[in-house]
Amino acid sequence: MTRKKIELLDSLDENKFKKMANERKEWLEKGQDVLVNLDNYVNNYANYLEPKKIQVVVSRILSESSEYVTLVLRSLNGEPLPIFKSGQYTAVTLEIKGEYYTRPFVLTSNPSLSKDGEWRITFKNKSNDIAINYLFNKVLIGEKLYMSAPFGDFYYNPIRDGNKVLFLANSEGIIQAYAMAQAIISNSEIFDLTIYYSEKREFNLLFKDEFAMIVSKCPRIKIVYVLSDEEKEGYLTGFISFDKISKEIKDENVSIFISGNEGLLKYLNVELEKLSLPKKFIRYNSFLPDSNVVKVNKFQLVVYINDEKYEIPCYNNKTIMQAIEESGIYIPSKCRVGSCGFCRSELVVGEVRVVNDKRNGVDKKYNYIHPCSTYPLSDIEIVVR
């Protein structure tokens, strides 16, 4: 397999690097003790790329199936929206009956439409999730929504990845594969994409007509359907397995992206071991594993946030964030799977179980947790930072 090589630093580079700290100190000492004007090109451009909050209006609602919907969102006054990489998310913050909920959604629009002020998000309804259920059933055309800047690292990167992507998806994971296909067909991103998409039956396949159109127009994109509960001509039968995909991996420069339900991710995690590929060429979309609790226990949770103290109940089968949210307290969040660090909090008392642990070493050492991916194991106290 041919992979890109990164040149090593030579001794001149190393010397330059070593001198950097002293040079910086000298520059700082020479600096004037006056407030910097924050309204400058760099700050303004950073705010454009990474605004704290983006207000958009729902301009169309597209029903993709009985379970999936796409919201077409327009910026106010048609100004450009931040650019994103296909596979990234935006988080929507909603106020429902005086309480705040934040949920992440995959951006599925052609990325180049961002400059014209258009984004799309596609998602599956979840009747037990008040925020998603609201967006699926109740949101109205013309309604204003607050979105976050795009985030997430599950996207194609030409420096790190091979020039071909093998995307293995089931269930909602196909939404990110569809987003990548949108980026390729609009020439926003350039790579070859082969998708293996598994569902129970043909009836369950999402974006089937759209994929047929995309594949007919763009030779870079291929899709192979795998049905687990139905035998049909033109479809593979069973599950996505090493044997089914092995011919795609013989080629050089393949990065494998995997997005779907917990079962698929766990199964492929074992299957793909057989490839002995360096880890960076196999990319799993983050997900929150089930709590797998046999006996539900109730605990006491104390939350300190913005100089306020709240005492609320929590349970070992729900994340700390769920407990906080269900008590009507707002804490910052984006990804809700432990990846972004937006909900980072200090655990000051108690025992917890961290799942999908993406914390850095220092945070682990000093007892910082991500409440969105942490379950209580005792009474606990946290300080939201």
331 is a contact residue toward ligand FES (CB under 6 A): no
- Cβ 334 to ligand FES shortest distance, Å: 5
- What would the two tokens of residue 102 be? 């934040």
- Cβ 104 to ligand FES shortest distance, Å: 8
Closest CB to ligand FES among residues 260, 371: 371
359 is a contact residue toward ligand FES (CB under 6 A): no
DSSP 163-219: SEEEEEEEGGGHHHHHHHHHHHHTTSS--EEEEEEEESSGGG-SSHHHHHHHHHH-T
Size of the site for ligand FES (CB under 6 A): 12
CB 247 within 8 A of CB 273: no
Beta carbons within 10 angstroms of residue 114's beta carbon: 19
- From residue 360 to residue 379, the character string flagging contacts with ligand FES as x (rule: CB under 6 A) and all else as - is ----------x-x-------
Cα three-residue angle 336-352-298, rounded to 5 degrees: 95
341 is a contact residue toward ligand FES (CB under 6 A): yes
- Cβ 332 to ligand FES shortest distance, Å: 8
Cα separation, 33 vs 180, in Å, equals: 48
334 is a contact residue toward ligand FES (CB under 6 A): yes
Q: List the interface residues with ligand FES, window 127-146 (CB under 6 A).
A: none
- Name residue 63's beta-bridge partners: 69
- Piece in contact with ligand FES (CB under 6 A), picked from 207-215, 276-284, 293-301, 339-347: 339-347
CA atoms within 13 A on the CB side of 154: 28
336 is a contact residue toward ligand FES (CB under 6 A): yes
CB-count exposure of residue 88 (10 Å: 0-12, 13-18, 19+)? buried
- Cβ 338 to ligand FES shortest distance, Å: 5
Interface ranges with ligand FES (CB under 6 A): 333-336, 338-343, 370, 372
